[in-house]
Structure 1
Amino acid sequence: MLTVKEVSRLLDLTEHTIRFYTDKGLVPSLKRDEHNKRLFDEESISWLTGIKYLKQCGMSVEDIKAYVDLCLEGHDTIEERYAIIEKKRAIAHEQLKEARERVDFMEEKARHYHEILTKKIPDDTNPGKWHREVQSN
């Protein structure tokens, strides 16, 4: 069993966020010790992992709670849960596409700066120098 602090490090979530999610009923398998402190087993960590990813896809806490409730209802809700996951999967793919575009942009910038640093090309990245270069031409 892990504490809030340990789960925070494990999942890269703040302790406040974990407490908030558990207070909202998003982790149905949550255990508590004799002092009412939250304790997390493998199942509750799985719930938190799923919550984290759904939240990162733009799902509201209220919608995540509805999804959790559907999960707890069992097999009869599979189609509805599948539809939710398909929608969020599409969002995740779009986020991945945007992340790849950011990486490509940064790779090009790094390549360009490396060429400047290795003196293969002049420094054309500083707007303060653009005006002087134009005047000297």
Structure 2
Amino acid sequence: MIYTLKQFAKMFQTTEHTIRYYTDINLLPCERDKGNRRIFNEESVNWMQGIVCLKGCDASIEDIKEYCELCRLPESRATLLARYQIILRQREQAYQRIEEAKATAAYMDEKVKHYEKVLAGVIPDDTNPENWTTNTRPPKH
């Protein structure tokens, strides 16, 4: 199947500008129609799914580009190991973000409990940063 730029961007819930950028920096293969407009095929879909996955892991454009370049090289143990190292690095970063998210969620749980005490009249309202002092300011998180 062949997709226009607009269809392709919509399929991946991104902007046409982003798709153009990816093709311009050689992340995403595309062909051109008779009017020199970008068109995309199933191989493009495969590449974009890989890009979206790496982007979802918060991979940098540089890492994604390196990964794509390695994929385009002839298959070898060296290129496989290099791609594997990128994936390991992205996995580690994903786990770090999970831990950060857990810490943030725990902090917010404590804030909810604190607000509930304020709303119940158990403690005075000390939730507005405008009224904090150096002694009442919450610790840095």
After TM superposition, is the score higher than 0.5?
yes
> How far apart in 2 are the matches of 1:94 and 1:124?
32
- How many residues are paired up? 128
- Deviation of 1:120 after TM superposition, in Å, equals 5.5
Q: What does 1:1-137 correspond to in 2, within 5 Å? A: 1-28=2-29, 30-55=30-55, 57-61=58-62, 63-76=63-76, 77-117=79-119, 119=120, 121-122=122-123, 123-127=125-129
> How far apart in 2 are the matches of 1:10 and 1:120?
51
RMSD: 2.9
Q: Rate the CA distance shift 1:40–1:112 in 2: closer, same or farther, 3 A.
A: farther
> How far apart in 2 are the matches of 1:104 and 1:42?
43
1:23-48, Cα deviation, whole Å (9 max, x unpaired) = 111113x2333322223334323322
The percentage of counterpart residues that share the same residue type is: 41
Structure that is richer in helix per residue: 1
1:44-86, Cα deviation, whole Å (9 max, x unpaired) = 233223324434534343x433321211224312112111211
Q: Rate the CA distance shift 1:114–1:65 in 2: closer, same or farther, 3 A.
A: same
Q: Rate the CA distance shift 1:98–1:40 in 2: closer, same or farther, 3 A.
A: farther
Q: Rate the CA distance shift 1:106–1:8 in 2: closer, same or farther, 3 A.
A: farther
When normalised by structure 1's length, the TM-score is 0.69
Gaps of 5+ in 1: 132-137
1:79-125, Cα deviation, whole Å (9 max, x unpaired) = 121112111211121122212222332333234334544x2634331
When normalised by structure 2's length, the TM-score is 0.67
Q: Rate the CA distance shift 1:111–1:44 in 2: closer, same or farther, 3 A.
A: farther
